[in-house]
Amino acid sequence: MRLFKYIASCLAVAGSIVAATETKESAVHELNASNMHSWVDRQHLALVQFYAPWCQYCKALEPAYEKAASALEADGVPLAKVDCTKSAALCDQIGIKGFPTLKVVMDGKFGTYNGSRQETGIVSYMRKHKGPPVTKVQPAELSGFVKSDHVVVVGYFKSESSSELAVLREVAKELIEDFTFGFVADKSTAKKQKVSMPSIAIYTDYDDQVSVFSGKYTKENVRKFIRARSVPLLGELSSRTFGTYSKAGLPLGLVFYKTDESHDKLERELLPIAREFRDKVCLTFVDARVYWKHATVLDLKTQWPAFAIQDVTMRTKYPMSQNKEFSTKDVRRFVSDYTAGKVAPHYKSAVIPATNDGDVFKLVSKQFNEVVFDKSKDVLVLLHATWCIHCKRLMPVYEELGKLLKSNANIVIAQMEATLNDVPSNDPALEITGYPTVVLVRAIDNVIVPYHGDRSLNSFTEFLRAHAAHSVTAQNNDIQRISANGPGYMVVPPQIAGFTPKDARHVEL
């Protein structure tokens, strides 16, 4: 009898749990073609997820999205979702390219969501967009406010109508997704914080030292200061932090180390150098055990420690010589010379060929500018990689093109192995985002025209006739329609993880 009562009580408890689970309502609103537009029109601030039930990234996002929706209910910021397998036409109309796609709704209009997919990231992102870009902080709230985010920017101004605060507000509108902004209009609080008025202070959770801006208040100056001082002094550069350091807008001084002991010793010796040049070069550590290949990209030998400066914006690199034993004194001298404009950028280059009289001119980095930017000639350049299958398929067509146009004295058909040779130019039109990359550098004005045609001989000749400064001489009956098979392009870098292209529906990655 007792056993029966025990089993009955267990079943009753289990039943109540199931019932509670079944009756619990989701905090996420379900939208479709019939109700979405009217719902969106009513929202001042909201977030909408476009998903497909079969997408594994959507499944992974679901728990965090549900928790974020519950957390944001008290803030009056609703979260919603649209099943694109049931509302395909609606998702196509909005321009959804893959799953999951998150879009912010602000005053009834869709915008891009640039936050993380974690619960805390979603909540933080949406709360930042709910209020003003710069929050007024009361003196009693300051100690908690400066610890509310990884990087907190606080302005100390004499009044809410100050011109300096106006500048900070403009900058905050641009950077609000990355940082938390506030201001204090209290002289005694500024004095306690040991800052003058007006000034801007940056508080971080990785450094006890507070950076203070007291220069000329322009948007550019304030933006640069915040970006530069928001990254750790001698922090660790990795695949996770590279984006943050890139946004700092400063050249990176990369210190490659092999052991933890070496790291600690270098940190003690390099810290004064990092502080001295922190507004000009951002010194960071790189673990050579993990990222040794990046050192080779910078043309460093795999001997540690090693040092190089990389300007991500200008796409230039400056490896420090490894011909003698590594010294932090040499690092300081190298950084000082670099900031003074005394160090020339380094470009990896193969040896210039002894002979180069083939149908296709074989370029190397050392002679790139001399040949490609010769204003007397139109130069078609193929940038390829030996391992790229699409480049291999294209090469017979490209060789045929060189043979066909060999008699055109003012037209050069050239190719360069881009993994063995750097492109010695920071022109965005010459940036390699995939292989093969083909561009025409026009004669007379050196305008760079990207090639976007198919991989046929006819397409290449028609492109040159349309864009070259000099006339193209080739008999139409000589143009064989040789074409490379396949898509003809290999994207670099690879697809971002956590996103399923819409065209890949029902394909689990």
DSSP code per residue over 391-431: HHHHHHHHHHHHHHTTT-TTEEEEEEETTTS------GGG-
Confidence bin at 475 (pLDDT 50/70/90): low
Predicted pLDDT at 353? 94
Share of the chain above pLDDT 90, in %: 73
pLDDT of res. 274: 95
Predicted TM-score (pTM) above 0.75: no
Task: Please state, in angstroms and rounded to a whole number, the distance separating the CA atoms of residues 98 and 493.
Answer: 18
Place of tokens 């977030």: 47
Residue 11 has pLDDT above 50, yes or no: no
What is the mean predicted confidence (pLDDT) over 116-142?
Answer: 91
| Catalytic-role residue among 55, 91, 282, 388 | 55
Taking the C-alpha atoms of residue 227 and residue 421, their distance in angstroms, rounded to an integer, is 32
Phi and psi for 124 in degrees, rounded to 5? Answer: -60, -45
CA distances from 255 to 203, 263, 269, 284, 288 (A): 25, 9, 12, 6, 9
Phi, psi values for residue 315, rounded to 5°: 55, 45
| Residue 91 designated active-site | no
Query: Does the structure show a pLDDT above 50 at 505?
Result: no
Beta bridge partners of 204: 151
Q: Indicate if the pLDDT at residue 398 is higher than 60.
A: yes
For 28, the enclosing helix (H) or strand (E) is: strand 28-31
Asked whether the beta carbons of 469 and 418 are under 8 A apart, the reply is no
Per DSSP, 298 falls in state T
C-beta neighbour count of 414 within 10 angstroms: 21
Per the annotation, the verdict on 55 as an active-site residue is yes
pLDDT at 492 over 80: no
Confidence bin at 476 (pLDDT 50/70/90): low
- The pLDDT, as a whole number, for residue 99 is 93
Stretch 317-332: mean pLDDT:
96
Whether 236 and 258 have beta carbons less than 8 Å apart is answered as no
Span 331-350, average pLDDT: 96
Cα separation, 99 vs 236, in Å, equals 32
**pLDDT bracket for residue 7 (50, 70, 90):** very low
Chain length of the chain: 509
In this model, does residue 17 exceed pLDDT 90? no
Residues facing 211 on adjacent strands: 202
pLDDT band at 311 (very low <50, low <70, confident <90, very high): very high
Give yes or no for a contact between 285 and 235, defined as CB atoms under 8 angstroms apart. yes
Q: E strand or H helix at 82, and its extent?
A: strand 79-83
pLDDT averaged over every residue in the chain: 88
Integer distance in angstroms from the first to the last C-alpha of the chain?
Answer: 54
pLDDT digits (tens, 9 = 90+) for 192-237: 999 999 999 999 988 888 999 988 999 999 999 999 999 988 999 9
pLDDT at 478: 57
Number of H helices, E strands in the chain: 16, 24
Q: Average pLDDT, stretch 51-67?
A: 94
Q: Tell me the average pLDDT across 433-447.
A: 94
- Coil, strand or helix at 148: coil
Q: Which residue has the higher pLDDT, 476 or 118?
A: 118
Name which of 39-43, 127-131, 170-174, 362-366 the model is least confident about. Answer: 127-131
Output the 3-class SS for 469-496.
CCCCCCCHHHCCCCECCCCCCEECCCCC
Structure tokens belonging to residue 485: 């098979």
| Mean pLDDT score, 108-134 | 89
State the CB neighbour count (10 A cutoff) for residue 362.
15
pLDDT at 489: 45
